[in-house]
Amino acid sequence: MPVFAAWASRQIVGVPVAEPDEGNPLAERNTGRAMWLTIIMMVVEITGGWIYNSMALLADGWHMSSHALAFGPVCICLRVCTSICD
């Protein structure tokens, strides 16, 4: 029996299967807010570093881009998972 078929029919013995729940809409909204705040601050830091020739602001702005990129898949997964459960 393929793994997906076993999961779908709940035939896996000894492995707990998560039941869909309502999720946490507040946490989902706050994750989106944190992502947008990170992106805005990244742009502000890179722009300020460019205008004022500040290597520290530029470095921190580019460092923030890694955080913003990490938020991307998280927000996509939240959207996909909540749309599948609905």
Q: What is the pLDDT of residues 55-64, one digit of tens each?
A: 999 999 999 9
Residue 54: the pLDDT is 95
Average pLDDT over residues 13-29: 68
pLDDT confidence band for 17 (50 / 70 / 90): low
Residue 64 included in any domain:
yes
- Which residue range is the domain that position 39 belongs to? 25-85
Number of structural domains (the chain) is: 1
What token pair was written down for 32? 């989106």
Residue 20 included in any domain:
no
Residue 50 included in any domain:
yes
For residue 17, what is the DSSP state? -
Amino acid at 4: F
Residue 73 included in any domain:
yes
Query: If we measure between CA atoms, which residue out of 67, 72, 73 comes closest to residue 42?
Result: 67
Q: How far apart are the first and last CA of the chain?
A: 27
Q: Compute the radius of gyration of the chain from its Cα atoms.
A: 20
